[in-house]
Each structure stands twice: as C-alpha cells, then as structure tokens.
Structure 1
Amino acid sequence: MHDIRRVTEPGKRSLRRDLLAARDSLTADEVREAGRALARHALELPELAGARTVAAYVSVGAEPGTHDLLEALYARGVRVLLPALLPDNDLDWGAYGGEGSLARRRHGGRMELFEPSEPLLGPDAVTAADAVLLPGLAVDARGLRLGRGGGSYDRVLARLERAGAHPALVVLLYDPEVVDRLPAEEHDRPVRAAVTPSAVHRFA
C-alpha cells in the first residue's frame, strides 16, 4: 500500500479514490493477516476490556478485517451490536450471535453486506454501547476520521451526541491510513483511538 502521510489538503473525493485503490491492491491473504493482527491490538484496548456492549461492523472486501475481533468479543461474553443499513442510509442495529446469525443482503447496486438477522433493535440501540468501532478510510493526528462519504456514521455520531452518550470511539484502519492531516468539516467528530495491524494510535 502506498504511503499517503504527506497528503495534507486534497479533496475528499480524490483522497477516497486513492485510499480505496490502495486497499484493492491487497491480496486476500494480506487482508486476512491484517485482520488477525488488528484484532490482537484491539483486544488489548482498556476501552474494550471493560466494555459490556460494543457496537462494531462486519468488514467486507478489502476493509481491515473484523471477523476475528467480532468472534473474540462474542466469546468474551460482550454484547456486540452490528449495523443494518436502512433505505435512507441511517443504521439500525442487531445483536451478534456468532457467524450463523448474519444475513447477506444487497442494497441496490451496492456491494453485499453481512448484517444481523431479525429482530433489529432500532437506530437508538447504539446509544447503549460502551465503545463504538467505526469503519473509515483514514484518520489524522487530530483524531478526525475520513469515511466513505455515505453519511451513515455521521448520523450515528450525531445520535450519540443528542443522547448525551459518550462511548469510546475507535476507528479500524491499515497502517498507512494514519496521516498527518485530513480535510475537515464542522460536523466531524474526533475519535479516541485508531487501531491498525501494527499499533494503537491515541488522540488527545
């Protein structure tokens, strides 16, 4: 994966394109090994060690793998909430019950997603989480995260704020996706930490 640490203020669209292209260059073995390493680091986080409920997601394609992490949290007895995409791009949530509890769903022309089976718990279920594991494409030294641009997790973060909920926010990334500075907007909310296959990065 090429290094984008020197990229400072490109447009978000072109930056997303470059980051996705770098991910797409990874082999399936590289993605699997990165997921295993990422899980090892994530499971050492104090925020997850003491969590009773964790909102997470099922990785797809070349995203940093979450399957090992989900299984380890579930085996610990953690209540794991997973998102289900709604037609307006908001997220509902359901409880993870192991790999057999997931359903494969295609949303329009988008990629297939693995989502929790019924019953779903409603969009506000995420406000009960002690930690929220976020997907993303990059994070900068301020803890500001770059997502895919769909706005689903912007809604989640706004919902947490409205509810007065303050779970630990952690983004899961590859190593070169921790950069110096990203373009930011007023509604962007910083994360507490980023976990990559080689390290945990914490932000003030």
Structure 2
Amino acid sequence: MDKLNLRRELLSARTSLSPEQLRANATKVRETLLEQPWVQMAGLVACYWSTGTEPSTHGLVFALWKHGATVILPVLQDDDDLDWAVYDGPDTLAPGRFGIMEPVDTRRGVDAVRTAALVIVPALAVDRTSGGRLGRGGGSYDRALARVGPNVPTVALLHDGELIDGVPAEPHDHGVRYAVTPSGLTSLR
C-alpha cells in the first residue's frame, strides 16, 4: 500500500477510538515508557505535544518534567523544519502554527535535538521489522531524526494495530529504534 492510502486508513481507524480508549491508551503508553531505565536516566528529552487522536503525550511530558528531565518540544518553522524550546510547565505553552501548542521559551535551534538523550516522535505506523516510521507527510520529524546520533534511543508512540509489516519507505525517511503501544515496548533495531 502506498503512503497516502496507508495514512488515510490509519487516520480513519484512529477516529473510531473512543475518548475513554484514547485516555486508557495514553496512560498505558506513558507508564510503559516511564518504566524504562534509559527513560528515567535521560536528562534532556525531545518530545512533542500531541494533538487529536495521537497517543497523548501531555501526561508524559508533565511526568518527565516533574521528575527532573529537561524536556524540549518542537516549534514548527515556516519551512516545516523543527526548532526546539524548553517546556517549563503547562503554563508555558501557546498555540503555534496550525494551533499546535508550543513552548514560549527561547528557541534553541534545529540542532538542539542533537543534544537530547532520548527522542520521542509521533507516528501513524512503524514497521515492526525495520523500524521505518510513517508520519503525516511533511518531513519535519525525518529532518529532526536525521540530526540524532546513532546511539540515542528514538521512540514512536502508537496505538495498538499501528506496529505493522511493510511501512513504505523513501531514502529521506528515518526510522526509530523503539515503538511503544498500549500493549508494550518493542525494540526494532
């Protein structure tokens, strides 16, 4: 299946999830991730502020921050690349482009993600064999992942059924090392 049709199929499936299921999924994903020693030890975490039917990161970001991690969140630039700024609590966010909440702190530049000890990214699907990640199609996170060192854990948050075989990939696509679903953590490569 091509990327466009696969995106449509996955987004349609996400719309069928009830608010209760979305909350339960977010809790399971957050708890699974926070149980990992490499997450607990990460001093600087690059994450994202979820929207819509994505597995919610709001509680995860808050928990990481409360436990002493410095959390940087993306700020979408006009060229669709991602700048980064520090999250310093829920009152430090404001709507950015497309209404997505972004930190109001000083921008650290597109290369700030290079310094993260853990990078958490959104995905619509991840290939269970290769770690190939299917995003929304803008390439923002592929550019960010290209800047991340090879030994840094990169994690995609998914709903059950989104860790699949055969995610289409192009040369510019960057995969992840782990996927977390409500059913658990999967090491991919």
TM-score, length basis structure 2:
0.94
Counterpart of 1:193 in structure 2 is: 178
Partner of 1:177: 162
Q: Which residue of 2 aligns with 1:5?
A: none
Aligned to 1:14, which of 2, 5, 8?
5
4+ residue runs over 4 A deviation? none
The residue that corresponds to 1:93 in the other structure is 84
**What SS class does the counterpart of residue 93 from structure 1 fall into?**
strand
| Structure 2 match to 1:48 | 39
Q: Which residue of 1 aligns with 2:104?
A: 117
Q: Map 1:1-204 to 2 at 5 A.
A: 10-105=1-96, 107=97, 110=98, 112-141=99-128, 142-160=130-148, 164=149, 166-204=151-189
Q: Does the aligned pair in 2 maintain the 1:193–1:201 contact within 8 Å?
A: yes
Identity of aligned residues (%): 47
Return the alpha-carbon distance in structure 1 between the equivalents of residues 58 and 74 of structure 2.
14
Gaps of 5+ in 1: 1-9
Deviation per CA, 1:74-122: give whole Å up to 9, x if none.
11100000001000000111111111111122x2xx4x20101131111
Could you tell which deviates more after superposition, 117-126 or 50-59? 117-126
Deviations 1:116-168 (A, max 9, x none): 113111111111100100100000121111111001011112233xxx56421
Determine helix, strand or coil for the equivalent of 2:75.
strand
How many corresponding residue pairs?
A: 188
**Residue range with higher mean Cα deviation, 116-125 or 74-83:** 116-125
Q: With CA pairs under 8 Å and 6+ residues apart, which has the higher RCO, 1 or 2?
A: 1
Cα pair 2:157 2:179 within 8 Å, conserved: yes
5+ residue gaps, structure 2: none
Contact 1:135 1:172 in 2 (8 A): yes
| Kept after mapping to 1: 8 A contact 2:45/2:71 | yes
Contact kept in structure 2, 1:127 and 1:165, CA below 8 Å = no
TM-score under structure 1 length normalisation: 0.88
